[in-house]
Amino acid sequence: MKVHTATDLQEEYLSAIELVARPLGDGSPARAAELLAKFAADLGVQSGLEFAELRVIALLHLCRMQQRLQRTEESERTRQEATSTFDQIGESGNRPNIQDGLADVLVEFKEYRRAIRPCEQAIKLSGGNSAKLANRLWRAGRTYLRSGLKQHAEEPLRQALELYRANEGDPHTPVILNDLGNALRESNPAEAERSYREGRIDLGEQRRIRSGHDSVGKSGSPLRRARTPG
């Protein structure tokens, strides 16, 4: 199929990177590494913000393949090149799918501070899709939480919770309540405990609905075990 615009080309690259990084990478990391290196090189000669972001995505997936192949020094150089390229970009593009891909792979590499920017940009570009917005708000809240910026995690987590609660019995709700408790634990311990308690109640109710039993797990709740330290 002939590509007519830069946007078309960007979508083609993103789809190809995702296809190579996951299905092919799982079965043939050497071939995946070869293709991802080619994508990164090709993207390096393209001009435009979104192409630079796609190059970061390709490089980080390439790094992951190199790690699987035990090419340790090579993978470290690739990761450094990816993060350096990201830092040089300095702003965000306007393609929500690219922001999602960039945020997800940065989170995968535990680059939480760097992931905040594409997380926030993806939220801004969500438009009227409430399901995608809820997922992006939750990802942003968790990313703030994991980066140690707990005071910034509260708002997106509350917004995500409101959207998920619109669907009664949504399985995301207990986990987000737990994340919210983690965000509030230092600044507002009483409210944090309420959030943990609500999460355990919601989880118990969902389990009861699925199993048909009346008992609600308490001390053995995975939410209690999921509390982050510190």
Whether pLDDT at 224 is above 50: no
| pTM score over 0.75 | yes
Provide the 8-state DSSP code for 127: T
Q: Which pLDDT band, with edges at 50, 70 and 90, does 35 fall under?
A: very high
pLDDT over 90 for what percent of the chain? 74
Contact 164, 176 (CB under 8 A): yes
Mean pLDDT of the chain: 89
Q: How far apart are CA 22 and CA 81, in angstroms?
A: 21
Alpha-carbon distance values, 128 to 98, 110, 124, 175, 185 (Å):
18, 29, 11, 24, 32
Contact 97, 11 (CB under 8 A): yes
Whether pLDDT at 229 is above 70: no
Measured from the Cβ of residue 217, the count of other Cβ atoms closer than 10 Å reads 14
Cβ contacts of 20 within 8 Å, gap of 6 or more: 32, 35, 36, 39, 61
pLDDT score for 1: 44
* pLDDT, tens digit, 9 for 90 and up, residues 110-139: 999 999 999 999 999 998 778 899 999 999
* pLDDT, tens digit, 9 for 90 and up, residues 91-117: 999 999 999 999 999 999 999 999 999
* pLDDT, tens digit, 9 for 90 and up, residues 157-204: 999 999 998 887 788 899 999 999 999 999 999 999 999 999 888 887
At residue 11, φ and ψ (nearest 5 deg) are -65, -40
Q: How far is CA 49 from the centre of its chain?
A: 20
pLDDT score for 2: 55
Q: Which pLDDT band, with edges at 50, 70 and 90, does 156 fall under?
A: very high
Q: How far apart are CA 153 and CA 146, in angstroms?
A: 9
pLDDT score for 217: 46
